[in-house]
Chains A and B, each alone.
Chain A
């Protein structure tokens, strides 16, 4: 079942902050976050695992609320390079196959 991302789009000025949410109606094993620029491949940002483990880039922060099955990606002091479409991908069963179901994406635009 596809996770739901919110908001669908965000417009920021450089230096402003944003939060992107990803919600699932089913229990999750992991949540992955990727950023995709137009016409390019998605680039890994963060993984959050059931139980609290995280791995990702130092400048990116995120949370995973296991009770609510919701993850949030925090983008602080935004830069022009943050522009792109952000996708969350979720895995439910932790079988180590990495079968991700992706949300519909959140378009982030950062203006000077």
Chain B
């Protein structure tokens, strides 16, 4: 069966510090991968998606970036965090696109102070 992992589960970082969140998927090959951010009490905002190794599409201009160095690994990064980067970051995968459900990881709760 397929599983999706995210780490760390929680993170408290000072403004201006770098960020690296990792997501890995097991049990499937060539998945579509997604990064979402959810502000407190709000909906999910798609940040990045990837349909293959090295293929990253950005949905929202910001100081975040994403990379997919391996088929089942998706990394979210920032060189300098802003207060507005605080939120619940969710990684998800799907077999294809809109015809298939997305499976979400457990999430990383990021607080920028």
- Residues 49-88 of B at the A interface (beta carbon under 8 Å): 49, 51, 57, 59
Q: A99 an interface residue at 8 Å Cβ cutoff?
A: yes
Report the number of A-B residue pairs with Cβ-Cβ less than 8 Å: 76
Segment 30-45 of A: residues with Cβ below 8 Å from B:
30, 32, 40-44
Per the bound structure, the CA–CA distance linking A102 and B44 in Å amounts to: 6
B98:A44 contact, CB within 8 angstroms? no
The 8 A CB mask of A13-46 against B (1 = contact, 0 = none) is 0000000000000000110100000001111100
Q: Which residue of B lies closest to A87 (CB)?
A: B43
Contacts of A97 in B (CB 8 A): 32, 49, 51, 57, 97-98
A2 within 8 A of B: yes
Classify chain A: how many residues form its interface, as a range.
20 to 34
Q: Cβ of A55: which chain B residues have Cβ within 8 Å of it?
A: 101
Closest to A41 in B: B104
B98 x A104 contact (CB < 8 A): no
Q: Is the CB of B43 within 8 A of A30?
A: no
Report the minimal beta-carbon distance from A77 to chain B, rounded to whole angstroms.
24
Selected from A2, A40, A96, the residue in CB contact (under 8 A) with B99 is A96
B97 touches A47 (CB 8 A): no
Q: How long is the Cα–Cα vector from A104 to B43 in the complex, in angstroms?
A: 5
CA distance A62 to B92 in the complex (A): 23
Report how far A87 CA is from B101 CA in the complex, Å.
13
8 A Cβ contacts from B12-69 to A: 32, 34, 42-46, 49, 51, 57, 59
Some 19 contacts from A to B, beta carbons below 8 A apart, are A29-B98, A30-B98, A40-B107, A42-B44, A47-B99, A49-B99, A87-B43, A89-B102, A94-B97, A95-B97, A96-B99, A97-B97, A98-B32, A98-B34, A98-B96, A99-B59, A102-B43, A102-B45, A105-B42
